[in-house]
Structures are given as structure tokens and as C-alpha cells.
Structure 1
């Protein structure tokens, strides 16, 4: 597996190493192709024992992404 995966980019904000901005570019041959999706990733002092909070800033229609940009908790649990 690539680290980071192809089409994903992220970096910490200028003033807080615990908050990152990230971008996912929509994969080819998917409904998200040509899309650019911005996210925020918030780490806590408990990382890596507790996963970061990930939230889409870009509006998107996906069954596992809530209207406020939050990701379905079931999926988040799968990433732990």
C-alpha cells in the first residue's frame, strides 16, 4: 500500500500540528472522478491509541458521509 495513497494529500495547519487539512482527488472511473474533496483531520493527545476525527469540508453526496461532513461512526470504528 502506498503511503499516502494515490490521490490523497495532507499537511498540518500553520498554527496547530494537531489539526491537518487534507484533499482527496476523486478516483478515475467512479462517480467521484474529477472531484476534489477537502477534509479536516483533528488529532488528540491520545493518538495513535484513539483515531483522529475526520470531517469533510467539501459538500458531497455519499451514504456514509453525514450532511455536516462527519463520517459514519461504524466506518470510523473499522479504521481503529
Structure 2
């Protein structure tokens, strides 16, 4: 189930990628992705390139992915380890959410 869902999300991302962002598997591991986020223009992050690590659990989408910044970023929702502190990545996760919505 998880592999099928992750593959579908990858195809959807490739077909309609979010602006200033790309993501995909690391090597051949569909459960470990790396994303690159370009800092939005007209923001304090403009010109920045931020690397994000995404680990999908075996019971995805019923459990949320673990998402963390590998590039140091100063943001109220990102702790010093790069972990993203958002309810939708914890108790508010829903299987209806996708990685592109995160």
C-alpha cells in the first residue's frame, strides 16, 4: 500500500510540481526522499536553497512522513535539529494529505 501511494505522489509531483520546489527519491529508496526548496522572492529566504529530508514510514499514508530541514533555517516552526513542528506532521495528520501539501 505505502509503495503504491508514494509512487503515485511522485508521479503527481513530476506532472505538476509546486513552484520553487522539487522532490524525489534518494537513489532507489522510495521511502527516503530529498526535496529542494528555493527561498521565495520578496521574503527573508530569497536566494536561499534549502534541502529537506523526507522519510516515509512503512504504514504511510496512515502515519505521517518525517520531514526535516538539512539546511539550517531560522523559522518559528523549525527547531534547531531541522525538525518541522507542525500539527499536520503529528496528531493532525490525515491520509488525505500528500507530501506536496506538506
TM range (shorter): 0.7 to 0.9
Mean Cα deviation higher: 68-77 or 52-61: 68-77
Q: Which one has the bigger helix percentage?
A: 2
Partners of 2:63 and 2:93 within 8 A in 1? no
Q: How far has the Cα of 1:28 moved from its partner?
A: 0.9
* RMSD after superposition: 1.8
| Unmatched 5+ stretches in structure 1 | none
The Cα shift of 1:35 comes to: 0.6
Q: Give the TM-score normalised by the residue count of structure 2.
A: 0.69
Q: In the alignment, does 2:61 pair up with 1:51? A: no
Do the aligned partners of residues 73 and 25 (structure 1) sit closer, same or farther apart at CA in structure 2, a change above 3 Å counting?
Answer: same
Instruction: Give the one of 12, 17, 36 matched to 1:4.
Output: 17
> Which one has more relative contact order, counting CA pairs under 8 Å at least 6 apart?
2
Q: Number of residues paired by the alignment?
A: 79
In the alignment, what sits opposite 1:23?
Answer: 36
Secondary structure in 2 aligned to 1:50?
Answer: coil
